[in-house]
Amino acid sequence: MDNRLLEFIEQYMPLTEEEKIFIDDLNIIRSLKRGTVIVEEGDTIKDAIFVLKGCLRSYYIMDGEEKTSAFTTENEPLILLSGDDPNKTAHYVDSVEDSIVTLGNLEMENKTVEKFPRFEKLCKLISEQLLKKNASSFAEFKNTTPEQRYINLLKNRPDLLQRAPQHQIASYLGIKPQSLSRIRKRLSKKSSA
């Protein structure tokens, strides 16, 4: 078994041998080739997706244009978002590079928590952390100019700039590719001045 999942969980709590075997038996690890679309708009939401390795991108298609809303990388759960129908995803997810993910579902989660109740606390902790991270990013996005957002990305997630194409990064920053080019030129002038 790929033990990234166990390593991730053990950051929060050490696992017993019995728990490790149980998780292994869930058989939820999947490999994805770069470019694989794993979720489409309108799909019924049933899976909980967690990235062990690689990079997934969540995007909406609006007026024929892809709008990147999130990148999910190592050790991050991916949040599937619904639209008017709370049971169906409102967006797409594809793999920006070859990736390894876990695909769980609610039934598995219930089974796990029933057998090992302390996993409930783990799930709660992870979703609380993710909530704070997400709310912080949102507040930051609202209170910054596109240029500041790019500088923050450069500081906080520099790897993304290498991993994803420029037009996806631009739309993730809420701007047009041309604006991103202008920002980069302006900053490189500043730093060489």
Residues forming the site for a copy of itself (CB under 8 A): 58, 60, 62, 67, 69-70, 79, 81-82, 91, 117, 120-121, 123-124, 127-128, 130-132, 134-139, 141-143, 172, 174
Shorter beta-carbon distance to a copy of itself: residue 16 or 136: 136
Distance in Å, CB of 80 to a copy of itself, minimum: 8
- What are the Cα distances from residue 109, in Å, to 21, 121, 168? 15, 12, 33
Nearer residue to a copy of itself within complex by CB, 26 or 45: 45
As measured in angstroms, the least distance from the Cβ of 127 to a copy of itself is 5
Nearer to a copy of itself, 7 or 128 (CB): 128
The residue (of 24 and 77) whose beta carbon lies closer to a copy of itself is 77
Separation of alpha carbons 14 and 96, rounded Å = 32
| Ordered DSSP codes for 85-139 | STTBBSSEEEESSSEEEEEEEHHHHHHHHHH-THHHHHHHHHHHHHHHHHHHHHH
Smallest gap from residue 57 Cβ to a copy of itself (A): 12
- Residues facing residue 39 across a β-bridge: 93
- The answer to whether 93 touches 57, Cβ cutoff 8 Å, is yes
Which two structure tokens, joined as six digits, stand for 23? Answer: 């998780």
CB of 172 to a copy of itself, least distance (A): 8
